């Protein structure tokens, strides 16, 4: 029975592995494309149903798969007549999780 709903926002590059791992572990998962956040990168929002006390298992699965990475973003150099881009390291990835109590759950 689903007692909690975990909403996980992850990078698209991690979505297939994360979804497969969660389904193999027996969690119902719905996947939605999303975008936004820093750099406007494409993300995936996963809706994951859990029973009481299973939040840590979902957390552990996503921690193993959704790693933070360093990417380099081109930024212009102020005052440069050549407009050469400067590569700036930016940390992206990981997962953002929200957990809420489910008051009612139905399958139709």
CATH code of the domain covering residue 18: 3.30.70.120
Say how many domains are in the chain.
Answer: 1
Q: Residue 87 has what pLDDT?
A: 79
Predicted confidence (pLDDT) at residue 90 exceeds the cutoff of 90: no
Whether residue 44 lies inside any domain: the answer is yes
Whether residue 106 lies inside any domain: the answer is no
Question: What is the rounded CA–CA span in Å between residue 31 and residue 68?
Answer: 20
Whether residue 108 lies inside any domain: the answer is no
Whether residue 60 lies inside any domain: the answer is yes
State mean pLDDT over 74-97: 73
Sheet of 29-35, strands arranged across: 29-35, 42-50, 4-11, 95-101
Q: Residue 32 has what pLDDT?
A: 92
The reported pTM is 0.78
**For the chain, how long is the longest CA-to-CA vector?**
63
Question: What is the rounded CA–CA span in Å between residue 76 and residue 35?
Answer: 24
Whether residue 48 lies inside any domain: the answer is yes
Whether residue 72 lies inside any domain: the answer is yes
Predicted confidence (pLDDT) at residue 79 exceeds the cutoff of 70: no
Residue 73 belongs to domain spanning: 4-101
Q: How confident is the model at residue 30 (pLDDT cuts 50, 70, 90)?
A: very high
Whether residue 77 lies inside any domain: the answer is yes
CA distances from 67 to 2, 22, 88, 100 (A): 27, 16, 19, 24
């Amino acid at each position: 029975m689903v007692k909690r709903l975990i909403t996980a926002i992850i990078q698209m590059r991690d979505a297939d592995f994360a979804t497969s791992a969660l389904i193999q572990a027996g969690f119902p998962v719905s996947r939605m494309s999303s975008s936004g956040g820093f750099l406007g990168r494409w993300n995936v929002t996963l809706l994951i149903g859990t029973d009481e006390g299973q939040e840590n298992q979902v957390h552990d699965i996503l921690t193993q798969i959704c790693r933070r990475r360093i990417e380099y973003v081109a930024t212009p150099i102020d005052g440069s007549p050549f407009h050469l881009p400067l590569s700036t390291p930016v940390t992206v990835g990981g997962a953002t999780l929200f957990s809420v109590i489910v008051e009612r759950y139905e399958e139709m």
